[in-house]
Each structure stands twice: as structure tokens, then as C-alpha cells.
Amino acid sequence: MDKTAPRFLDCGEAALSVEFGDSVDPAINARVLTLDARLRAAPPQGLRETTPTYRALLLRYEPLEISRDALVAAIEGLLAPVDIEAKLSQPAARWTIPCCYDPAFAEDIDEAAALLGRAAPSLAQLHAGADYRAYMYGFAPGWCYLGGLPQALAIPRRASPRGPTPQGAVLIGGALALIAANPMPTGWYVIGRTPERMFALRRDPPFLVAPGDAVRFEPIDAGTFLTLDARACAGETVARKEALQ
């Protein structure tokens, strides 16, 4: 069997998971995002919605309009050899997200730094120096999961969740980074905070970063955070977007 061929897994009769692997891996995620982009560019009859995740693409479809076999055939027609897919999957945009690592805003940075055996400023420097990619959203609206965390910052998640995160929390957990939107309890560590709103109902568009986009963090001090936070609160987008394609 071709190890690179995805698995097609039924999620009931009206949803199909196209699974490219079972791990968090940039090459696997690139294949997910490539298929997602192609299906969105030319959706087969009966396809209702796609949900990209780290390693699989969930397709919601109407089986009274398209059979499973026809849907699978349509997907297979869109797949390319794996090395080509990885190359095809280039970020459409790069976001520079302001992030304050001051412990007054980065509630858990000292705790996480101690667990990682380094000083908080060095943790912040490593985190802000890396190139990330938005792998997927999940958990709650605007919670954006990022690949690309430096190995040195991989940290086991908490055994039990901490209290609700502040608005715009920047977190690390496992081998991943995360930008949160609304406050929620979490097992991850808050190592920074962005004034940007990852999700704002009254803004058009309500979500900024798209799955597949490149992300970098730009360190800001507490004073800049407060200034930008006030502007973001008034509806301004304080992160910067650069088109890449």
C-alpha cells in the first residue's frame, strides 16, 4: 500500500475524514491545507464545508447529492505526489503579531521558564524568534494552533487546567504554540499576551489569520501593549499582514 495515500474515514454518512497521518507534522499539515485549498477552489457537488486540522481534513457533505465513492474519486483527482503537495502548500500571508512577554501580562512565563530550565527573557526571545504556521483552529472561536515552536520550548501540558486565560493569551503546550481569543480555562502556559483580537464579532472580517498563514511574534513592552490594546479595542487591526502570493 502506498504509505502516502490518505485514509478515508467515515464520520457518519454525511461527513468524511481524509486522514494524511496521525501526528503533528508540517509536511502532513501542508497536505491537509493543499487539499483544503483545492476543494475550496472547486468544490464538488454536495460538498458543504471543510474543516482542516493538524493531520486530517473533515468534509461535511450531503450524501443524497454525492455518493461516498464519487466524493473519494473527486478527492483522489485533486491529490498530487506528496513532495509536490508539500511544495504547493505555501502560506498565502504572513502575520506579525505583537506580543508582550512582560510577566504582568504573561501570567505563566516564570513558571514555564523554570520548568524549561531557562530564564524568562530567554524563553521570550526563543518564542519571538521562531517562524510559525497556523495549523488549525479548534476548542473555541479564534483559538489558533501554531506549528513551529522551537524544540527547546516543548513543555508537557498541566495535569489540571489553570483558570481562564486573559483575552489574547499567547500560550505554549506540548510541542505547539497557540493564540487564544476569549477567556477559557486551559492546560497550557500563558507566556505572552497580544493586544490583537483573533476574533472580533463586529470587525470585518471577524477572523484575521487563516489556516496555513505564516505567523511571527513581535515583542512589545507593557506600555506599547496598553496603547495597542486600546486601539484594538476600538476595532483597529494592530497585527500586520503581508501577502506572500
Partner 1 sequence: MSARLIVDAAGPGVTVQDEGRFGLSRYGVTPAGPMDLGAYFAATRAAGADNAIEVSLGGAAFRAEGATLCVAVAGGAFDVRLDGRPLPSACLLLLAPESRLVLRAGAWGAWCYVAVGGTLDLAPILGARATHARSGLGPKPLAAGDALPFADAAPAPLEPLALTAPWLASSGASVRVLLGPQADYFAPEEIERFLNARWRIGARSDRMAYRLEGPAIRHRRGHDIVSDGVAMGAIQIPGDGAPLALLADRQPTGGYPKIATVIGADLGRLAQLRPGEDLSFRAVDWDEAVAARRDYFAAIEAGAERAPLCAEMTAESLLAENLVGGVVDARD
The answer to whether residue 199 forms part of the interface with partner 1 (CB under 8 A) is yes
Q: Which of 173, 214, 215, 175 is nearest to 190 (CA)?
A: 173
Q: Which of 200, 242, 240, 199 is nearest to 220 (CA)?
A: 240
Please identify, using beta-carbon distances, which residue of 2 and 69 lies nearer to partner 1.
69
Print the binding letters for residues 218-237 with partner 1: x by CB under 8 A, - otherwise: --------------------
Total of residues contacting partner 1 (CB under 8 A): 43
Q: Cell for 71?
A: 466524493
Please identify, using beta-carbon distances, which residue of 55 and 109 lies nearer to partner 1.
55
Core vs surface per residue 192-230: b (16+ CB within 10 A) or e: bbbbbbbbbeeeeeebbbbbbbbbbbebbeeebbeebbe
Strand, helix or coil for residue 137: strand
The answer to whether residue 53 forms part of the interface with partner 1 (CB under 8 A) is yes
Distance CA(143)–CA(194), nearest Å, equals 13
The answer to whether residue 161 forms part of the interface with partner 1 (CB under 8 A) is no
CA-to-CA separations, 208 to 108, 138, 179, 202, 239, in angstroms, rounded:
26, 15, 12, 13, 9
The least distance separating partner 1 from the CB of residue 152, rounded to whole angstroms, comes to 22
Distance CA(116)–CA(242), nearest Å, equals 33
The least distance separating partner 1 from the CB of residue 56, rounded to whole angstroms, comes to 4
Stretch that binds partner 1, among 52-60, 214-222, 223-231, 236-244 (CB under 8 A): 52-60
Distance CA(208)–CA(133), nearest Å, equals 14
* Residue 186, C-beta contacts closer than 8 angstroms, at least 6 positions apart: 161, 162, 165, 169, 171, 173, 180
Stretch that binds partner 1, among 20-28, 75-83, 165-173, 237-245 (CB under 8 A): 20-28
The answer to whether residue 26 forms part of the interface with partner 1 (CB under 8 A) is no
Among positions 31, 55, 133, 193, the unique one binding partner 1 when judged by CB under 8 A: 55
The answer to whether residue 6 forms part of the interface with partner 1 (CB under 8 A) is no
Positive or negative: CA dihedral 183, 188, 192, 195: negative
Among positions 39, 54, 106, 179, the unique one binding partner 1 when judged by CB under 8 A: 54
Distance CA(11)–CA(208), nearest Å, equals 29
The answer to whether residue 65 forms part of the interface with partner 1 (CB under 8 A) is no
The answer to whether residue 122 forms part of the interface with partner 1 (CB under 8 A) is no
Print the binding letters for residues 73-112 with partner 1: x by CB under 8 A, - otherwise: ----------------------------------------
Contacting residues toward partner 1, per CB under 8 A: 9-15, 17, 19, 22-24, 36, 48-58, 60, 63-64, 68, 136-144, 182, 199, 201, 206-207, 211
